[in-house]
Amino acid sequence: MVSRIAQKLALNAKQPQNGFWGSLVGAAFLRNGNLEKTCFELLESLPEHKVLCVGFNRAIGLEFALSKQQYPGKVFGIDHSELMCKLACEKLRHHIDNDELTILCESVHEMSIPDNSIDRIFHTNCHVFWDDIDKSCEELYRVLKPGGKMVSLARYNRLRLQQKFGLLNSSPITSGFYIGSLIAMGFDDIRVKNVKVMNKFSKACAVYASKPILTAEKKQFFNFK
């Protein structure tokens, strides 16, 4: 019985669905609101930037980002849960109609976003749910502009506790696992820092990464190859 409950919760933590279990997990996601806001602040995004939020859950981070962006800036949100996308569209319809927000119901490892089109990317906790972390990081690298920045924020102690109770898969719940993939996909200026969560006494692990700008010498090298 306990294992069946854990399976239901794990399934909906990864991809919330309609029904009791999806609603239960969705309510728990509301507690991540300050984590998402903190993550966005760490981006040091400018109002005119194109910003991507990965795994937006109850759209708290999306709403916070929208309050900071101005035309020609725009916010993009991607989540593979149809339920979360539906709720976000209902909640933020005004911003969608004004072309300030685009909601994409698709997987992070296969995005429809054009190459080199995003200035900033932020996500919280969700990378531990990605089926293929290398492919996902490769896609994030692809859509990020040269010189663009990405920040992830995670409470690894809580995630490991969830894994202990069977709510997460057996993949390593560490920043090193994620950082190794970032390095392999070409990100640089990777930094790790424990930061205070907005309006909370707790801290979370922030991982910063950037997409390098190709110098004239490197461009010539790659063109030659």
pLDDT single digits (tens) 72-122: 999 999 999 898 999 999 999 999 999 999 999 999 999 999 999 999 999
Range of the domain at 156: 2-224
Say which CATH number the domain at 139 has. Answer: 3.40.50.150
Asked whether residue 24 carries a pLDDT value surpassing 50, the answer given is no
**Residues β-bridged to residue 75:** 51, 101
Q: Which stretches within the chain are classed as H helix?
A: 2-14, 20-29, 33-42, 60-66, 82-91, 93-97, 133-143, 156-164, 175-185, 216-224
User: Using an 8 Å Cβ cutoff, are 79 and 57 in contact?
Assistant: yes
pLDDT at site 171: 64
pLDDT in tens, 136-151: 999 999 999 999 999 9
**Predicted confidence band of residue 54 (pLDDT cuts 50, 70, 90):** very high
Where is pLDDT greater, at 158 or 35?
Answer: 35
Q: Higher-confidence residue: 112 or 21? A: 112
Mean pLDDT of the chain: 84
pLDDT in tens, 212-222: 997 544 544 44
| pLDDT reading at 224 higher than 60 | no
Res 37 pLDDT > 70: yes
User: Going by C-beta distance under 8 Å and a sequence separation of 6 or more, which residues neighbour residue 207?
Assistant: 151, 152, 153, 154, 175, 178, 179, 182, 190, 191, 192
The length of the chain in residues reads 225
DSSP labels for 136-187?
HHHHHHHHEEEEEEEEEEE-HHHHHHHHHTTSS-SS--SHHHHHHHHHHHT-
Percentage of residues of the chain with pLDDT beyond 90: 62
CA 152 to the chain's CA centroid: 7
Render pLDDT for 184-202 as a digit per residue (tens, 0 to 9): 999 999 999 999 998 877 8
pLDDT band for position 4 (cuts 50, 70, 90): low
Q: What contacts 24+ positions apart, CB below 8 Å, involve 5-8?
A: 6/165, 6/166, 6/167, 7/166
Domains identified in the chain, total number: 1
With 50 as the cut, is the pLDDT of residue 28 above it? no
Integer angstrom CA distances of residue 51 from 12, 22, 113, 114, 208: 26, 27, 12, 13, 15
pTM of the predicted model over 0.75: yes
CA angle 157, 6, 27 (to 5 degrees): 70
